Amino acid sequence: MPVLSALHGASSTVLSNLFVKLPTPTAIPGLPQQIIIVTGSNTGLGLETSRHLLRLGLGKLIMAVRNLDKGHEAKKELLASTGRDEASVEVWHLDMDRYNSVTQFAALASQLPRLDGVLANAGIMTTQFSVSEGHEKTLTVNVISTLLLCLLLMPKMRESRKQTGWPCRFVIPNSALHYLAPLGELDDGPDHPIIARLDDQDKADMGGRYPLSKLLVLYAVRELADRAKASGKGLFILNSPNPSYCVSNLARETQGSVGVKTAEKLIARTTEEGSRTLYHGLFAGEESNGQYLTNCHVQDPACHVTNQWGQRVQKKFFEELLATLEQIQPGISANV
């Protein structure tokens, strides 16, 4: 990783958390008619974003969760805290670690009367190498399944916009840790496939895998937004907000350490504060399309996203990702 980029990422996080007050979410016109999906919505940032949505009058929340029992418990808690009625929330099963679960969920969501937003919040952070669906698990959950869900829902998102006039937002949370991603894993030579390299346990840098997954998400978001816009098939908005370092259960492997507990007390945002950035992403304007967001506004990402090297890697990675998605769901690239 470039040293200056890493220093910028770390310093901007500290300064943001200590000195930036995020805007409190407010209702938007038409919210009572909208339907929004939040994945990983039974805990952490997903739960708090869901609470904002319900509190402010969202018509229908689809809680997409891996564990239905936990999802229904979270639904009860949300309804009790917001005073909403039972019909305002539905709990659906979605396991981002299983491609067939993603495709089944997308097929069901495509039958909704409208789709106004998707917060693809579900993700993992681990330093342990394991394989799921033929790929390293972080790559499967944080990148491949997330973009699989996006491409599967693109026809519905475009259809909904034509019907309602409201461009659907597809929001994938990001992190300033993308500034610290290990770039050595992204050899951009023509004979060095990126995904195959990341799936090699002997070469995998798992200490940097979560930051790298967020960098790959940025590449995918930027490339997909450009290609979807150029296709002329219809508008939807794809963005990637950074909630910054905040209290959550994402880093379960290190939560009990003294260092993590101390850092949380000193500089971490509360989960509710972090969720404000995700709420903003769900209603951000067209200027956010294909963009990285910080503190509820568009911000340039790391230089290894925007420079010539980053542009080469972005296109190469997206082509590999699209080929991977074609293997999972033949014909899906036509949705772009």
pLDDT in tens, 69-79: 999 999 999 99
Give how many domains the chain has, as a whole number. 1
Position 333 in a domain: no
The 3-state DSSP composition of the chain as helix, strand, coil percent (nearest 5) reads 55, 10, 35
Position 295 in a domain: yes
Position 234 in a domain: yes
C-alpha to C-alpha distance for 119 and 273, rounded to whole angstroms:
16
pLDDT in tens, 243-280: 988 887 676 555 555 555 555 666 788 999 999 999 99
Do 221 and 290 meet the contact criterion of CB atoms below 8 Å apart? yes
CA dihedral 149, 94, 37, 327 (to 10 degrees): 10
Catalytic residue, chosen from 60, 75, 156, 214, is 214
Q: Is 210 designated active site?
A: yes
pLDDT in tens, 277-294: 999 999 999 999 999 999
CATH at residue 86: 3.40.50.720
Position 330 in a domain: no
Position 265 in a domain: yes
Position 182 in a domain: yes
- Per the structure, the complete domain to which residue 215 belongs is given by 3-322
Region 196-211: what's the mean pLDDT?
Answer: 96
Which of 6 and 147 is assigned the larger pLDDT?
A: 147
pLDDT in tens, 142-201: 999 999 999 999 999 999 999 999 999 999 999 999 999 999 999 767 778 999 999 999
Position 336 in a domain: no
Q: Is 75 designated active site?
A: no
Position 12 in a domain: yes
Catalytic residue, chosen from 210, 219, 245, 292, is 210
